[in-house]
Copies of this chain bind each other. A is one copy, B any other.
Amino acid sequence: MSTTTEAVRNGVDTAQLFGTLDALKDDPSLATFQFRARNRWIGGAHNRTTIRDFYAAKQEDTSRETAFVLDAGEPTILLGSDTGPNPAEYLLHALAACLTTSLVYVAAARGVRLTEVESTLEGDMDVRGALGLSDEYRNGFERVRVSFRVKGDAPEEKLRQILTRAQQRSAVFDMVTNGIPVTVDVATP
C-alpha cells in the first residue's frame, strides 16, 4: 500500500477526520450539535421512535434520505410481546456502539489498524425498583460490565491505551456513567 491510500484507516477517512478537527479549531461555533428523536406509542410495551433530522455545523442537516425507525418492546415476562429490544437493552446497545466507534476513531487517528472489535455487555437489575415494589432498589441497572476483545496491528499496551482514550471521549459512556440533566414537559390537550 502506498502512503496515499493510508488516508482511510479502519474505514475512517483520516484526512476528513483531521480536516474536521482543524475546522472546529478555526470556528468553534461549528461544534454546536443537536440530536433528536420522536417517539409514538403503539400499544402496550410497543412504541416506535423515528430519527432523522439533526442540527450540526450551524445548519439543519438534510443528508439523510430516509428516517431510521426503531421499535421498542418488552419480553413476555415484563408484560410485552417482544416487539423490539426493551429500553434498557437499547441503552446497552448505545453504550457498546459509542465505545466501539470511539475506539475505532481513536485508533484511526493514532495510526493503528484494527482487525476485530467485539464487546459483550451485561446489566444487572432488581426489577423491584422499576416496578415500584421497593425503594431499596434503583430502577435502572445496579452496574454494567463491558468486556471488549480487540485485535489490531499494535502491541497489547497500545491497544489498551486506545480503549482507555475511547472511554475518556465516548459521549454515551460519559452520559451513562455521569448522568445528564433531563427535563420532562407534558401537554395534555
Which chain A residues have a beta carbon within 8 Å of chain B's beta carbons? 10-13, 16-17, 20-21, 24-25, 28, 31-41, 43-47, 49, 51, 54, 56-57, 61, 63-64, 68, 70, 72, 74-80, 82, 84-102, 104-105, 114, 116-133, 137-151, 156, 159-160, 163, 165, 167, 169-189
Contacts and interface: CB of A to CB of B under 8 A. Distances in A.
Given A75-B63, A96-B49, A101-B45, A91 B172 contact: yes
A91 B92 contact: no
A167 to B, nearest CB: 6
B104 A141 contact: no
B87 A97 contact: yes
A77 B61 contact: yes
A95 to B, nearest CB: 7
25 contacts: A12-B79, A20-B79, A31-B131, A33-B125, A34-B124, A36-B121, A41-B117, A87-B98, A87-B172, A88-B94, A90-B97, A125-B171, A129-B171, A143-B181, A143-B183, A145-B183, A146-B183, A149-B187, A149-B189, A150-B187, A150-B188, A173-B182, A176-B179, A177-B180, A177-B181
